[in-house]
Amino acid sequence: MTEPADTPRDDTVRKGSPFAQSMPAGETLGNAVQADATIAFRAVEIRANDVLDPEWGVLRSAIWASAWVAIFSLACYQYFPGGGVLVTALGCALAIVGLFSSRPIPASVLLIAHAGLFFACYQRLF
């Protein structure tokens, strides 16, 4: 059986996505893949640098959370020193996270306060 004259042959049919951009002259698929990998690597590198941005709200919120936990640590020191050890450990962790923010001085003060409360609660246990 013969093909009609107006039917395109298989070698003239484009393969791949019809939405793909055609490559410039002289560029091979390997170069395009390498360029895409380089762009992806740079995007990941940029995102990694933005994770600990000092103006990031999570870091600042950790300082506020540490301040609130300090109030509960004082209450635990008075009424439940065993729980105060755990609560002040949480406050220390939050203050350490807050050290990476744009406000390291309040975070340092809270870290020292929580460390002092931690040892005070621990000593009240015995």
Distance of CA 84 to the CA centre of its chain: 29
Of 64, 114, 121, 122, the C-alpha closest to 91 is 114
The confidence score (pLDDT) of residue 45 equals: 57
Q: Give the angle subtended at the CA of 48 by the CAs of 44 and 49, to the nearest 5°.
A: 120
Instruction: State percent of the chain over pLDDT 90.
Output: 46
Structural domain containing residue 91: 57-125
Cβ neighbour number for residue 64 with a 10 Å cutoff: 13
pLDDT band at 57 (very low <50, low <70, confident <90, very high): confident
Q: Is residue 2 part of a domain?
A: no
Q: Is residue 31 part of a domain?
A: no
Quick check: 121 and 88 in contact, CB under 8 A?
Answer: yes
Q: Is residue 32 part of a domain?
A: no
pLDDT band at 99 (very low <50, low <70, confident <90, very high): very high
The confidence score (pLDDT) of residue 101 equals: 87
Structural domain count, the chain: 1
Please state the pTM of the whole predicted model: 0.58
Q: Is residue 85 part of a domain?
A: yes
Q: Is residue 26 part of a domain?
A: no
Of 118, 62, 64, 65, the C-alpha closest to 89 is 118
The confidence score (pLDDT) of residue 106 equals: 94
